[in-house]
């Protein structure tokens, strides 16, 4: 067993105790497991090294280890050392303040159908591995606050080819994702601002202004997205998803885009465009960003989460030049959150054309899974499947209370989200939201069949 993988145990022996050394040792190791200091699979020191550190005989340590092994706490294999039994369920923590749940009972793990999770099973191809191998071998030494210039150039090229948007690298700020980009933007405001947020809307983004001390106002949406004629005139900014409204998936029509752009110009309001899922369309071509129509009033928040993986934690922000310069100054103070190695790897990956090829493959894959959703859930009693024009999730309107549907699916091992979670106030529709992108076809087929059974049972009541 490598010495750097061995746990350092805070054992304190009491020479005046009536308990023997082996009993004290075994009791303290049991307590370490119960309190979470030691977890299943953790390596323990050898009997010789622990005896030397504690100043006791090796036989005392051997006796304690043998006792714990007999109780099932420890396992030992020749050449592998002694470890906490990997199959040992954690005991309930001694300190009740560490958590309220009882860890002694294993919980059933639910199949995660959360919206927005992509399929990453084919991500690590030769182009992906080569990009990371080269970035790790020669990491960039000097990364500007705005982000690596090579990556910003590739992002600009990618958007020109895939989204029909012309952006200068100096207008691009590399971020750790859309949420971090929005946070940076709001931090640069200096004053408390009022932000209009779509209702329903993407929960992760709509909560950020409030968390930073700003004011949010719900703005109305319908099947086609935001309704610009209903916008109040006292907003400093509007957070909008014109290409793929969340969660219903509508795309803002051309007439509304023009109305919105004119309104923003007249009222001196910023449009914060969340471009999430925009490249994953199944009906027609991806729509150009709103920023192409109103470049002086629009800040675009982009990410690679859907077409690469959320775990990469890298995205971008595109702003008018004066705002981009202000953000770059703030970034100098706060630092660049995306690692230099990640930025270099993504720059290489984009430059190879691999992301464009991957996006095309994903569209075909997700279009097939979208067909599975339509086949199994498109014609159910007591439920209505909303159109799926793009993205990685679907919305199912239910007659049965959504809480009952969510609970029934959980009892069958499937996790979905209640539709009402996407509303900021009243007026929520009753239904569920679920992702269909991350699991293979057979797993998805099973989960959706279970979903259909639950809805049929509810409709029959």
From first to last of its 461 residues, the chain has per-residue pLDDT tens of 445 456 778 888 888 888 899 999 999 999 988 888 888 888 888 889 889 989 999 999 999 999 998 888 898 876 678 888 988 764 444 444 444 444 444 455 789 999 889 999 999 999 999 999 999 999 998 899 999 999 999 999 999 988 889 999 999 999 999 999 999 999 998 889 999 999 888 888 889 999 999 999 999 998 889 999 989 888 999 999 998 888 888 888 989 999 999 999 999 999 999 988 888 888 766 677 899 889 999 999 999 998 999 999 999 999 999 999 999 999 999 999 999 999 999 999 999 999 999 999 999 999 999 999 999 999 999 999 999 988 899 999 999 999 999 999 999 999 999 999 888 767 788 999 999 999 999 999 999 999 999 999 998 87
Whether the CB-CB separation of 178 and 301 falls below 8 Å is answered with yes
315, β-bridge pairs = 175, 303
Query: Please, what are the domains in the chain?
Result: 3-98 (1.10.10.10), 111-119+357-460 (3.90.1150.10), 126-356 (3.40.640.10)
The CA distance from 224 to 260, in Å, is: 13
The CA distance from 82 to 42, in Å, is: 9
For every residue of 387-440, DSSP letters joined together read: P--BSSEEEEEESS-HHHHHHHHHHTTEE-EEGGGG-SSS-PPPEEEEE-SSS-
* Nearest residue to 393 via CA among 283, 306, 300, 311: 306
- Token look-up 């958590």 returns 99
Rounded to the nearest 10 degrees, what angle do helices 126-137 and 340-351 cross at? Answer: 140
Cα torsion 108, 111, 113, 118 to 10°: value is 130
Sheet holding 393-398, edge to edge: 383-385, 393-398, 431-435, 417-418
C-alpha count within 13 angstroms, C-beta hemisphere, residue 200? 23
The CA distance from 89 to 104, in Å, is: 6
Helices (H), 268-335: 321-334
Degrees (nearest 5) of the Cα angle 125, 130, 135? 135
Both structure tokens of 232: 């109040």
C-alpha count within 13 angstroms, C-beta hemisphere, residue 442? 0
415: left (phi over 0), alpha (psi -120 to 50) or beta: beta
Parallel/antiparallel/unpaired status of strands 315-318 and 383-385:
unpaired
- 3-class DSSP assignment, residue 101: coil
* Nearest residue to 307 via CA among 241, 234, 356: 356
Parallel/antiparallel/unpaired status of strands 417-418 and 431-435:
antiparallel
* Nearest residue to 73 via CA among 115, 102, 44, 110: 44
């Amino acid at each position: 067993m490598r010495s750097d993988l061995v746990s350092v145990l805070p054992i304190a022996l009491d020479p005046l105790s009536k308990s023997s050394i082996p009993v004290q040792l075994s009791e303290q190791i049991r307590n370490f497991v119960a309190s979470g200091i030691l977890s299943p699979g953790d390596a323990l020191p050898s009997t010789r090294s622990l005896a030397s550190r504690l100043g006791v005989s090796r036989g005392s340590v051997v006796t304690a280890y043998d006792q714990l092994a007999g109780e099932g706490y420890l396992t030992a294999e020749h050449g592998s050392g002694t470890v906490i039994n990997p199959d040992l369920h954690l005991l309930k923590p001694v300190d009740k303040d560490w958590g309220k749940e009882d860890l002694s009972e294993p919980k059933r793990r639910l199949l995660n159908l959360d919206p927005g999770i992509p399929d990453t099973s084919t991500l690590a191809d030769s182009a992906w591995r080569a990009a990371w191998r080269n970035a790790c071998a020669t990491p960039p030494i000097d990364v500007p606050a705005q982000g690596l210039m090579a990556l910003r150039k590739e992002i600009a090229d990618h958007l020109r080819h895939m989204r029909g948007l012309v952006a200068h690298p100096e207008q691009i700020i590399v971020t750790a994702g859309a949420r971090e980009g929005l946070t940076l933007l709001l931090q640069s405001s200096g004053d408390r601002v009022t932000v209009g947020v779509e209702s329903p809307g993407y929960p992760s983004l709509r909560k950020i202004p409030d968390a930073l001390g700003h004011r949010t106002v719900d703005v109305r949406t319908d099947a086609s997205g935001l309704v610009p004629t209903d916008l109040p005139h006292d907003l400093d900014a509007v957070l909008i998803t014109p290409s793929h409204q969340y969660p219903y998936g509508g795309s803002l029509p051309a007439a509304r885009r023009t109305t919105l752009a004119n309104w923003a110009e007249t009222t001196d309001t910023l449009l914060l465009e969340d471009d999430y899922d925009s490249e994953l369309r199944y009906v027609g071509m991806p729509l150009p960003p709103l920023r192409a129509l109103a470049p002086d009033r629009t800040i675009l928040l982009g990410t690679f989460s859907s077409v690469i993986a959320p775990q990469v934690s890298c995205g971008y922000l595109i702003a008018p030049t004066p705002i981009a310069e202000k953000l770059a100054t703030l970034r100098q103070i706060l630092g660049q959150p995306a690692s230099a190695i990640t930025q270099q790897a993504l720059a290489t990956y984009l430059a190879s054309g691999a992301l464009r090829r991957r996006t095309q493959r994903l569209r075909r894959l997700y279009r097939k899974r979208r067909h599975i959703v339509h086949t199994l859930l498109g014609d159910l009693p007591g439920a209505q499947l909303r159109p799926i024009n793009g993205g990685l999730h679907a919305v199912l309107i239910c007659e049965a209370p959504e809480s009952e549907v969510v609970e029934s699916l959980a009892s069958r091992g499937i996790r979905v989200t209640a539709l009402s979670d996407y509303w900021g106030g009243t007026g929520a529709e009753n239904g569920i939201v679920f992702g269909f992108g991350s699991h293979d076809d057979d797993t998805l087929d099973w989960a959706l069949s279970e979903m259909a059974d639950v809805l049929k049972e509810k409709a029959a009541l």
